[in-house]
């Protein structure tokens, strides 16, 4: 197994985000939903109600830890998933999950420290780890059930990283979800090793079977820090994320966040609070999961039909992204160039690994099934399959 190493992130988040609204492309790259997936009308109604009730208070300076009523709503949703006891006072809102992750790393990690994470991992997380000047300790994802816990136990015991960051449900990009028993065992491994577990719960509400019990449900906050967001479930433009930093970390997290932006956007927090209070969130999630399942089916069928023999893709248990492994002979750099020339973009696998090493499977692509229309999704994958065969 590889020792921790310093690295420069292999991809730039800013470049991916610049593609998100670029016209004329079949965008299978950026992990963002399509406009038709956003509950615009319900959010508009929530804004109108919030403005009628709050008035000018929606546009003033606010509490650095976020809207109090929204934080209590978030705590209640966590209690419904088995996190007991927890109150709104333990929650801090953030400007998206990215800020929550960045602030947690800023609190925990100094230059030269070790941060463990999944391999593959979200390229934005890799960029944050590199920006913190940490050494990275990749832990392999071995299939649909996520990181290898035996390897995790061995690596954490040997290297004692400052923290381990894991996306426990529908991990980006692999789509892996930790089984319930593995979550409890992972908490025990981290507790025994003295390693802080940062649980990224961003996609949990998109699980077809419903949001599972998080790792934080097996802990009192002494081992697990929790981060999440409504970017994938309600609207990325809201920029509403949140964290439960855990025992001994709340004030440091709130201070770090306040130094960055004083507080997150009051307007969107109050609007989201009204959206949840109106009972709009759960019906929207039920509809969204049906939409995602239909899009995944289109994607899986197109890959099976059009991609080269030997392509492997494991159907995730929810969400809207697919992680496809292509045969070794496919040149991913040439495929990206040829696909872009035909108006199709995707995320190449190398962006999700800190450093390609011997045996690292980088002949992958992450495919977002949510943004393009159903017709363009199928057409874009047909184009990719044809080019890959060439």
- How would DSSP label each residue in 98-135? HHHHHHHHHHH--TT-EEEEEES--HHHHHHHHHTTPE
C-alpha closest to that of 346 among 302, 305, 293, 289: 302
Instruction: Give CATH 3.40.640.10 domain extents, the chain.
Output: 41-277
Q: Give pLDDT, residue 194.
A: 98
Q: How far apart are the first and last CA of the chain?
A: 35
Instruction: Give CATH 3.90.1150.10 domain extents, the chain.
Output: 13-38+282-389
Assess if CATH 3.40.640.10 describes domain 41-277: yes
CATH number of 13-38+282-389: 3.90.1150.10
CB count, 10 Å around CB of 246? 22
DSSP state at residue 307:
S
Question: What is the rounded distance in angstroms from the CA atom of residue 311 to the CA atom of residue 191?
Answer: 39
Question: What is the rounded distance in angstroms from the CA atom of residue 247 to the CA atom of residue 244?
Answer: 9
Q: Give pLDDT, residue 19.
A: 61
Question: What is the rounded distance in angstroms from the CA atom of residue 173 to the CA atom of residue 179?
Answer: 17
Q: What is the pTM of this model?
A: 0.95
Tokens of 384: 């990719």
Question: What is the rounded distance in angstroms from the CA atom of residue 354 to the CA atom of residue 347?
Answer: 15
Per-residue pLDDT of the chain (390 residues), as tens digits, is 678 988 777 766 666 666 655 677 899 998 888 899 999 999 999 999 999 999 999 999 999 999 999 999 999 999 999 999 999 999 999 999 999 999 999 999 999 999 999 999 999 999 999 999 999 999 999 889 999 999 999 999 999 999 999 999 999 999 999 999 999 999 999 999 999 999 999 999 999 999 999 999 999 999 999 999 999 999 999 999 999 999 999 999 999 999 999 999 999 999 999 999 999 999 999 999 999 999 999 999 999 999 999 999 999 999 999 999 999 889 988 999 999 999 999 999 888 998 755 555 569 999 999 999 999 999 999 999 999 998
């Amino acid at each position: 197994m590889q020792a921790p190493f310093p690295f420069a992130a292999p991809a730039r988040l800013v470049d991916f985000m610049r593609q998100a609204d670029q016209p004329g492309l079949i965008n299978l790259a950026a992990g963002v939903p399509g406009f038709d997936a956003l509950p615009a009308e319900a959010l508009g109604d929530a804004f109108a109600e919030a403005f009628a009730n709050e008035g000018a208070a929606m546009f003033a300076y606010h509490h650095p830890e976020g809207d109090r009523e929204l934080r209590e709503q978030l705590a209640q949703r966590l209690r419904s998933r088995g996190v007991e006891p927890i109150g709104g006072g333990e929650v801090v809102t953030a400007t998206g999950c990215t800020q929550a992750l960045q602030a947690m790393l800023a609190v925990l990690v100094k230059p030269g420290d070790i941060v463990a994470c999944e391999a593959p991992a979200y390229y934005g997380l890799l960029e944050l780890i590199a920006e913190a000047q940490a050494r990275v300790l990749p832990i392999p994802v071995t299939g649909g059930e996520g990181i290898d816990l035996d390897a995790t136990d061995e690596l954490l015991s040997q290297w004692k990283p400052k923290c381990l960051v894991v996306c426990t449900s529908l991990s980006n990009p692999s789509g892996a979800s930790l089984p319930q028993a593995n979550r409890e065992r992972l908490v025990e491994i981290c507790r025994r090793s003295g390693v802080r577990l940062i649980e990224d719960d961003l996609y949990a509400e998109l699980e077809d079977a419903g949001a599972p019990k998080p790792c934080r449900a097996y802990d009192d906050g002494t081992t697990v820090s929790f981060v999440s967001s409504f970017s994938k479930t309600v609207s990325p433009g809201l920029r509403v994320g949140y964290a439960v930093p855990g025992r001994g970390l709340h004030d440091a997290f709130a201070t770090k966040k306040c130094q960055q932006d004083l507080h997150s956007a009051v307007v969107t927090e109050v609007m989201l609070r009204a959206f949840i209070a109106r009972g709009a969130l759960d019906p929207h999630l039920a509809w969204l999961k049906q939409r995602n399942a239909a899009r995944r089916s289109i994607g899986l069928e197109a890959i099976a039909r059009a991609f080269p023999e030997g392509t492997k893709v494991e159907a995730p248990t929810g969400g809207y992204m697919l992680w496809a492994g292509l045969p070794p002979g496919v040149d991913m750099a040439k495929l990206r160039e040829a696909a872009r020339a035909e108006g199709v973009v995707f995320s190449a696998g190398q962006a999700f690994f800190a450093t390609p090493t011997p045996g690292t499977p980088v002949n992958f692509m992450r495919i977002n099934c949510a943004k393009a229309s159903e017709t363009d999704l199928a057409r874009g994958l047909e184009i990719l399959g044809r080019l890959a065969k060439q």
